[in-house]
Structure 1
Amino acid sequence: MAQIPSAADRVYLVTGGNAGIGYFTAEQLAGTGATVVLGSRSVERAEAAMEAIRARVPGARVRSVGLDLADLGSLRGTTDSLELEVERLDAVVHNAGVLLEGSERRETRDGNEVHFGTNHLGHFALTHWLLPLLEAAPSARIVTVGSFAAKSERLDLDDLQSRDGYRAKRTYGRSKLAQMHFGLELDRRLRAAGSTVSSVVVHPGGALDSLTPSRPPVHVRKAGAALRGTAAALVLQGKHAGARPAVRAVLDSQISGGELWGPRVFGLRGQPHHERLWAQLEDAETARRLWEASTELTGVAPAPAS
């Protein structure tokens, strides 16, 4: 897209819109005139993000909703709150996620491994509850933000909860791969049901804080960070640029469901472009089995209303 189109009559939800790539996704979408809802666990962080967006986008229409993807039982309440505020959703960007450090395996309150339970299962269940709002729009879009870290991973369908040989970064990569499989399988099921909602998968490439412009108080680039990031900028980018594939997937009506979008240069930096599906993402049987496991673990199955 040569320029960001106006979307003054649209409503978008960005999960994790209070920080990182989610913040910049929300900021860029707010620049279209759309109403942008930030899904956040923290009221204070959401307020700070909204203030930062308003400082950059005069007249920005932003609001927030409480969202805790690690608590599956709370998600229906999130959508109930949304339904009191908006009549429809034109898009949701499934961006929120956790990446923990350390060797200790942790679980959500539902007893799921925290990366898999938050990044994948939380968005899986949230989609179920959001579908009525999405189907109320003429042609809504679900945008799932994966990760370049997932490209080197494969799902272990016999150990989705990472009980065997837990490693935080590997588990994170697999949780993002699960999200990407979900986004593609979701689109297949939406198409089969004749839904007007479509599902697109994106990833931000390599997005570093040191290459990200300041947005106080949400993000303040430390002195010297830009200089240290000079060499990295040859192959990586900031989080403001990492948000562009998701923004493009929300706004570009020419993008079709079931596509994968990421940065043009080695998949790590540059303008968004349509990528060929990674080899593991072409495995529809793995996606189907993941869907079945996710349905069992969450008790819901995202599907168009009958």
Structure 2
Amino acid sequence: MSSVSQSRPQWDVHRLPSAEDRTFLVTGGNAGIGYFVAEQLAATGALVVLGSRDAAKAEAAMASIHSRVAGADVRHLQLDLADLASLKTAVDRLDLGHLDAVVLNAGVALDDPPRRETENGHELMFGTNHLGHFALTQWLAPLLSAAPAGRIVTVGSFAARSERLDLDDLQSTRDYRPKRTYGRSKLAQMSFAFELDRRLRALDSTVLSVVAHPGGALDSLTPSRPPVRVTPPGERLRALPAGLLVQGKDAGAWPAVRAALDPAVRGGQLWGPRVFGLRGTPRREPVPSHMADRAVAARLWAASGELTGTDPHLGFR
């Protein structure tokens, strides 16, 4: 073992480093994985902004965080990723001089047909999960560039491993299957994030783009956070056998939190749970070849720019 690795402290998910004077935005920070990312980041002393379209749910999340983190500094930003025209205005309302990191977490997952569309006429999951974050990144670029070492953490999904993008049918207009469309929307996010880091490196930008995924994260294994969510004891008890393979959403947040905080993390990396990529403490994973395909990423980037009228590359320096 090298002296460098010996001197580096082991990452402890329960004893996070201080992040006082830093600011983080978590999209979808009012529920699920995003809530626990926000709660854990708030415990570091940072200002955490919850990006959510539902003000009541955001208020409930902030109340829960305040009840668990003494002196937590949390705010709500009205943010609707399905409404592309609203995103620049939302970022302007942040009223910040810089942003240390954004965790691109918010997402829609539909289980059944029919196919649904955003206000902009895009398939709902692809339009929200990928296109909304693609456009948001452009408007956040000046704030991230103004930080000493800004980070973009994209929350991907284990579901993306078995999917491949159909570049001729990105919006599933010909063959809509909800689970596949969801997996492809997450694959699009991850492909974009890796391509973004390549472009940031070409610019010699101080901003990094990193990907994290929660592995297998179940509500039934997640500790209660009233009024955000209450897990009945019976439900948790019945789910305990599944805990051999998967975990709760509190643990599912660990890879994204490490990707946002750990100074050893580098751009273009993928972080996920240690045990088969499904559960456990976060570790770096090899990037699957289909997620790192530059030709696919270039075509996806061009199509996304046309569909949103934005190009995140242009906002960074």
Distance in 2, matches of 1:263 and 1:94, equals: 18
2:158 matched to 1:159?
A: no
2:276 matched to 1:266?
A: yes
Indicate the residue corresponding to 1:208 in structure 2.
Answer: 218
2:262 matched to 1:252?
A: yes
CA deviations over 1:227-269 (Å, ceiling 9, x no partner): 1111100000000000000000000011100000000101000
Distance in 2, matches of 1:269 and 1:279, equals: 22
For the Cα contact (< 8 Å) 2:205–2:316, is it kept in 1? no
Q: CA RMSD in A?
A: 0.8
Q: Which runs of 5+ in 2 are unaligned?
A: 1-10
Q: Which runs of 5+ in 1 are unaligned?
A: none
Distance in 1, matches of 2:106 and 2:68, equals: 22
User: What SS does structure 2 have at the residue aligned with 1:240?
Assistant: helix
Deviating more after overlay: 274-283 vs 72-81: 274-283
Mapping of 1:195-234 within 5 angstroms? 195-234=205-244
Residue 63 of structure 1, aligned match among 75, 87, 97: 75
Question: What letter matches 1:151 in structure 2?
Answer: R
Distance in 2, matches of 1:210 and 1:159, equals: 35
Indicate the residue corresponding to 2:23 in structure 1.
Answer: 11
Moved beyond 3 Å, runs of 4+: none
TM-score between the two structures when normalised by the length of structure 2? 0.95
2:50 matched to 1:38?
A: yes
User: What SS does structure 2 have at the residue aligned with 1:230?
Assistant: helix
Distance in 2, matches of 1:221 and 1:305, equals: 42
Aligned-pair distance for 1:296?
Answer: 0.5
2:86 matched to 1:87?
A: no
CA deviations over 1:21-67 (Å, ceiling 9, x no partner): 00000000000000000000011111100000000001000001000
2:153 matched to 1:131?
A: no
Distance in 2, matches of 1:130 and 1:222, equals: 39
Aligned length: 304
Aligned-pair distance for 1:75?
Answer: 0.1
CA deviations over 1:2-21 (Å, ceiling 9, x no partner): 33000011000000000000
User: What SS does structure 2 have at the residue aligned with 1:99?
Assistant: coil
2:198 matched to 1:188?
A: yes
User: What SS does structure 1 have at the residue aligned with 2:49?
Assistant: strand
Aligned-pair distance for 1:142?
Answer: 0.2
Aligned-pair distance for 1:305?
Answer: 4.1
Distance in 1, matches of 2:70 and 2:97, equals: 24
Residue 158 of structure 2, aligned match among 139, 145, 148: 148
Distance in 1, matches of 2:175 and 2:196, equals: 30
User: What SS does structure 2 have at the residue aligned with 1:9?
Assistant: coil
Distance in 2, matches of 1:23 and 1:240, equals: 8
TM-score between the two structures when normalised by the length of structure 1? 0.98
CA deviations over 1:93-142 (Å, ceiling 9, x no partner): 00000001212011101010000000000000000000011111001000
Using a 3 Å threshold, how does the CA distance of structure 1 residues 262 and 305 change in structure 2: closer, same or farther? Answer: closer
User: What SS does structure 2 have at the residue aligned with 1:231?
Assistant: helix
User: What SS does structure 1 have at the residue aligned with 2:255?
Assistant: helix
Distance in 1, matches of 2:172 and 2:184, equals: 9
Indicate the residue corresponding to 1:28 in structure 2.
Answer: 40
Question: What letter matches 1:147 in structure 2?
Answer: S
Residue 77 of structure 1, aligned match among 81, 89, 100: 89
Residue 236 of structure 1, aligned match among 232, 241, 246: 246
CA deviations over 1:56-98 (Å, ceiling 9, x no partner): 001000001000000000000110101x2x2110000000000
Indicate the residue corresponding to 2:296 in structure 1.
Answer: 286
